Amino acid sequence: MTDHLESATVLPAPPAVVVPGSLGIIGGTFDPIHHGHLAIAEEAREALGLAHVLFVPAAQPPHKPGRPVTAPGHRLAMLELAVAGNPAFSVSTVELDRGGTSYTVDTLEALAASGVVDPWFILSEEALAGFTSWRQPERILVLCRLAVVPRSGYDQLDARWVAARFPGLEHRVTFLPGPLLPVSGSVVRARAAVGRSVRYLVPDAVARYIAQHGLYADPTLRIPPQ
């Protein structure tokens, strides 16, 4: 039995050689940041040889109209706690500073104007499935390349799916094999709302922050930290 299990194990590919100056971008509400986000960012960094990964919290996500979102100050504080200690990770406030509804194309245009060239935008298959509804998706594919990670419970997409919707741009999308972590922000919020532990779903510093500020237990507590 042991020999069978060992022979069935598929070893991951070694990390790619780091490309100097290369950048990955992972955007989202990060309400809150959790280990799934961090694992995805690390997988993309190693698989693509990224020198750096930038986390960009949205001010107001366009795909979540009407859903209350935790105050930007709290989400930013949790993000900064989560990436502390990893020199390849940092946080950008470009969308929080801009305010209003956060559109990826606007952020990419701003980064391009600051000198960022052809970055990788990291997203899940779930997000890619709705990519045609994003603002100016063709322009996004010109400004950046997409690195797509699988999402549990969603159909696996491929280059043919991309070619059918964005002919001639399928080479701008790369599908990564993993990781596949069954954790989401909604799970973390639901557990915190009833007083359950969120440890091991989020970094310890984030779990402590959620408890200290009473986040997710009561919507009235969603105010910026002082």
Q: Where are the domains of the chain?
A: 19-181
The neighbour count for residue 136, using CB atoms within 10 Å, is 15
pLDDT in tens, the chain (226 residues): 444 444 345 677 899 999 999 999 999 999 999 999 999 999 999 999 999 999 999 999 887 667 789 999 999 999 999 999 899 999 999 999 999 999 999 999 999 999 999 999 999 998 999 999 999 999 999 999 999 998 766 678 999 999 999 999 999 999 998 777 778 898 999 999 988 999 999 999 999 999 999 999 865 444 333 3
Give domain 19-181's CATH number out of 1.10.260.40, 3.40.50.620, 3.40.50.150, 1.20.1050.90: 3.40.50.620
| Cα separations in angstroms, 107 against 47, 111, 179 | 24, 6, 26
Q: Cα 125 vs. chain centroid, distance in angstroms?
A: 12
The DSSP secondary structure of 83-97, one letter per residue, reads HTT-TTEEE--HHHH
